[in-house]
Structure 1
């Protein structure tokens, strides 16, 4: 059995700990002893290994239960963005109607130049809050870049020879431009997905800091950070633990992307 390289081991550790907390934490949290009567901003002690936060909640329980929404929202946003962006990018790359491709791309470029946080603030200002709106708008903000990457990778010079050969062999249009070209761009998209996951994670957490993300009663790492932002010196663990888990998840994802890129030779 081949031993893991140090960089791979570090990447798996950084990614694995937050993901383990996100998915297994809610199952472990109810098994922890309940400390009743604990006040706000209590230091670590018996029954409270990480103390309490500004609202009197056990920081350890928050760390174990606050990652599920972060991870699921990030994965849901990426899935929605790529489910729309990949077919659209492949179609724009394959179409012979260049005016239609140019018009579509320029329309998407309008979204590309919009400040992401400003869009979320406008959304909140119009009363459109909630997980569904946050997921859809965050995915929409990723769409222009994804379409550009798919078009660029699908139209690479090395790919054109293969497309001409398949066309001469009588392969159907959908198989050439959707299936086979989709496989060709998969490596590049995998690398992009890892980097984009960090961007989405940052945007989602920033939305919570601004009060336009998840409801304030949601047990979520980003929301917990926002609620304890003024308590760094009184209850540092309430801020540093969820922040450390978010940073570890982002850093681990980037390292894993680098390892995949090294193995596949894909570049963005």
Structure 2
């Protein structure tokens, strides 16, 4: 009951868009006739090409949600080991060789990098996932390096090396566990950033077709009829915002709970 009160608001905000993204397509009929654009009828009326807007909401969350989750996971799977290796390197030149190329990626605006890579690699969900992971990778690596630097020079780590401890115990058990709070604090922000980046890519027509059933595409394409059928724009926009706010609330509560229970 206490956990429900603690995570309730954020959990509800997350649950609604996640459930729609995962199970919404199951409730969409196979054949839905098209009517004129921005006409009343149904729950939300029709969209810019005459499709049922509610059906587009039910089928439009998978790209935004799943790509953001997969891209964030990919950025951490690559960025955390990269940053830890740079922090624990005994030679400074090795640290510089690992981190300086990432500064070049950080110097390029994320949307510009998104458009450039998409122009070279083409469109597709997998391409979009890889691009978003690549954009987040340098930040994750830098945060991981900063969190591991103090641990890399600690007497405890030197003692573990002298005792011949395995790399698993050094890097995963000791360093990984010590970095967990920092990474957990960053994860909520990083996932929210990935979510908005995927939405921005869909808004720009990168990664998904311009008429795809996608929440961000709905916001972009239906804005011309905002005063005729505002729900076709408002509902997908609210779902994206709720997911972002809910993620941050849940992670903030989780970090606060861990701090309260620690001795």
Provide TM-score, normalisation by structure 1. 0.88
Contact preservation (8 Å) 1:195, 1:257: no
SS in 1 for 2:250: helix
RMSD: 2.3
Please tell me whether residue 219 in structure 1 is matched to residue 213 in structure 2. Answer: yes
**Residue of structure 1 equivalent to 2:39:** 42
3-state SS of paired residue (2:122)? coil
- Which residue is equivalent to 1:254? 248
Q: Hey, what's the Cα distance between the residues in 2 that align with 1:207 and 1:87?
A: 27
Higher deviation after alignment, 203-212 or 80-89 = 203-212
Structure 1 SS opposite 2:191: helix
The CA deviation string for residues 172-215 of structure 1, in whole angstroms up to 9 with x for no partner, is 24421344212221232122121111111111111222222311
Find the aligned partners of 2:164 and 2:3 in 1 and give their Cα distance: 46
How far apart in 2 are the matches of 1:52 and 1:210?
Answer: 22
- Whether the aligned pair in 2 keeps the contact of 1:191 and 1:260 (CA below 8 Å) is no
Partner of 2:20: 21
> Corresponding residue for 1:197?
191
Q: Tell me how far apart the structure 2 counterparts of residues 178 and 90 of structure 1 sit (CA, whole Å).
A: 10
More helix by share: 2
Q: What CA deviation, in whole Å up to 9, does each residue of 1:235-268 have, x standing for no partner?
A: 10110010010000011011111112212349xx
Q: Residue deviations 1:97-129, cap 9 Å, x none?
A: 211111221110110121011112223444633
- Please give the alpha-carbon distance, in whole angstroms, between the structure 2 residues aligned to 1:263 and 1:189: 16
- d(CA) in 2 for partners of 1:37, 1:181: 57
Residue in structure 1 matched with residue 114 of structure 2 by the alignment = 120
Q: Specify which of 139, 143, 157 is matched with residue 133 of structure 2.
A: 139
The corresponding residue for 1:4 is 4
Give the TM-score taking structure 2 as reference length.
0.90
User: 2:202 aligns to what?
Assistant: 208
Q: Does 1:150 find its partner at 2:149?
A: no
Structure 2 residue aligned with 1:237: 231
Number of the residue aligned with 2:66: 72
C-alpha distance in structure 1 between counterparts of 2:28 and 2:188, whole Å? 29
| Offset of residue 158 of structure 1 | 10
In the aligned structure 1, how far is the partner of 2:153 from the partner of 2:38? 60
Query: What SS is found at the alignment partner of 2:237?
Result: helix
What's 2:154 paired with? 160
Q: Quote the residue 1:30 is aligned against.
A: 29
Number of residue equivalences? 260
Q: What is aligned with 2:103? A: 109
The 1:63–1:159 alpha-carbon spacing in structure 2 relative to 1, beyond 3 Å, is: farther
